[in-house]
Amino acid sequence: MRQFFARGGLLSRCHPAYEYRRGQGEMAEAVEQALAERRHLVVEAGTGTGKTLAYLSPAILAGRRVVISTGTKNLQEQLYFKDVPFLEKHLAHGLRVCYMKGRGNYACRQKIYDAEKEPVLEGLEEVADFEIIRAWEKTTPTGDRAEITKLPEGSGAWAKIDARRELCTGQRCQQFERCFITLMRQQAQQSDIIIVNHHLFFADLSVREDEYAGIIPEYGAVIFDEAHELEEVAGQYFGISVSNYQFQELERDLRALARRKGFGSEELDGALEALTEAALHFFLLFGGTEGRTAFREQAAFLEQHEEPYQDLLRGLELLGAYLETVKDAPEEVLPLARRAGELARALAYWMAGNERGVVYWVERRGRGCFLQATPIDVSGILRERLFNPVDTVVLTSATLAVGGSFDYLKRRLGLEHARTLIVPGHFDFKKQALLYVPPHLPDPRDGEFARRAAAEVTRLLRLSRGRAFVLFTSYQQMRVVYDLVSFQLEYPTLLQGAGPRTALLEEFRRTPHCVLFATASFWQGVDVPGQQLSCVIIDKLPFAVPNDPVVEARIRAIREEGGNPFYEYQVPQAALALKQGFGRLIRSRSDRGVLALLDGRISRQRYGKVFLDSLPGYTFTTSIEDVEAFFDV
């Protein structure tokens, strides 16, 4: 690896945009050593390090199967279609590589053939989309919908022909040998490098104890890119979720299948109507207030509402019993019966609410009601399922260390023995970025903060001539400040929620002097290099909402163990989030810009030092005149 990345090395001779980066070589050597010695490794690689090639190159030469897990499907595709072919050409000929995504990304051939004969599609739009899908299915080698660039993001036709397991009959399907999921798994079995995303990885990890439930073939090493996301993603897949939408989808799928396959009856209609009515009544009992709330009152709830709960369980039981008696039932009935049983078991588990180490909560989102159960601490699960059985796990991201230490990450993930490395970013942050903290604004919890922050935002955006992200820790604060600022600006403004995320980003990129007001979803995974993004303004230190049920449970658990949740959990989590937000600005060596944090606690409070020590070495100022001079250069 040292020779490959060195000045005058192979990479310098074959990469058209080669630039020597000491940190890239250091990281590649560390990954190479971890793979050779079968050790775990944590690497924080600052922006511009070139970490993708730094972990891909040693993985390719490791001589065993390596799974690479990314934070997004976009990064998966970049690795597979761009980075791996480049390295294969120059480093390892004949490499066997595949990428795997969740089943909803692939077409189901049997559903496509059924849709040609049966009344599945509704409206001209679905018919037009289906024509595109049908023509594509005849030539695609993978069945991955990402290949169809003309298909709308929310295509109703795609939702009716994708390969999700809810209607999959597995080996009983006539198209099993030609199935895109079968082909994907066969290719993975023959591959040296398997590229997945975190959601698929943890979906697989959560079911690997069942011999036949795994998705990814056996592997000896895993490399996680964007590893700062692991705790949250793991929590999703080692918990459960039951929602009213699942009951609606079960009813919809069963009615559609019965209509297509001709096994409908008055009994089935009656069973579905009873289940639908019971589900509607049951989920209404949890109120209509938007947001997430802890739920610890299962016993009292059941005492008061035992009848509607039992009605819902009986509805599922009755439906399952009916499906078992369908004469000459089509194969698709089996997965639907399985779904009814899984829903009943998940609901009973949630209503018992008695497992230690799990937080039970309810989320209302639009018309959806979600009953959630999430592990309070995933460290034990990951230690047992991931770090102990797998020889080599490499974690990397630009944001893993807090104040130069990996203690927080290792504690939260259960990683006991690992080598660590911090590779500084490749950019000159001292010259390229100015960190501005206005000293005159009130505490963000003060009632005057929004009005005065809006005035400061307006002032900053005039100095930057737009070209900015204004990022908030809450939707409410975003809307308040947007309303106060947008009409005072001569620059175009965009507001999160006014359109799909990708469309807003594209409009921001192509609109001169544009300003985007957004929340947490724009704090990471967004890349806008160049002058179009010259200022990032963050309203306050991004502490997680303390009364969020999962956060609240984690705080309580740390306190009960005698720890200090503020310094052990809340501050480190917020420091990493701030690091992510500020990471949007400097994306290349030619970028320049101002990072403005409107929260003076970073300078006034003792814990502020943790935040400052976690950030790259920006030039720091509390003077608006320095900001003006920076933009005048």
pLDDT in tens, 344-391: 999 999 999 989 999 999 999 989 999 999 999 999 999 999 999 999
Taking 70 as the pLDDT cut, the residues of the chain under it are 209-213, 525
How far is Cα 559 from Cα 561, in angstroms, rounded to an integer?
5
Is residue 401 within 8 A of residue 418, CB to CB? The reply is: no
Q: How far is CA 516 from the centre of its chain?
A: 21
* Domain range 240-375, CATH architecture: Orthogonal Bundle (1.10)
Amino acid 213: pLDDT? 61
What's the rounded Cα separation, in Å, for the pair 308 and 368? 18
pLDDT value of residue 210: 64
Separation of alpha carbons 180 and 419, rounded Å: 39
Q: Place domain 429-632 in its CATH homologous superfamily.
A: P-loop containing nucleotide triphosphate hydrolases (3.40.50.300)
Structure confidence by residue, pLDDT tens digits, 423-450? 988 888 999 999 999 999 999 999 999 9
Q: Tell me, what's the pLDDT at 524? A: 72
Q: What is the pLDDT of residue 525?
A: 67
pLDDT at residue number 211: 54
Q: Which helix (H) or strand (E) holds 421?
A: strand 419-423
At the top level of CATH, the class of 19-95+191-234+378-423 is alpha beta
Could you tell me the pTM of the whole model?
A: 0.90
User: In sequence order, which residues have a C-beta less than 8 Å from that of residue 116 and are 6 or more positions away?
Assistant: 134
Enumerate the CATH 3.40.50.300 domain ranges in the chain, comma separated: 19-95+191-234+378-423, 429-632
Would you call 409 helix, strand, or coil by DSSP?
helix
DSSP string, 356-390: TTEEEEEEEETTEEEEEEEES--HHHHIIIIITTS
Taking the chain, what is the end-to-end CA distance rounded to the nearest angstrom? Answer: 40
Question: How many angstroms separate the CA atoms of 323 and 552, rounded?
Answer: 42
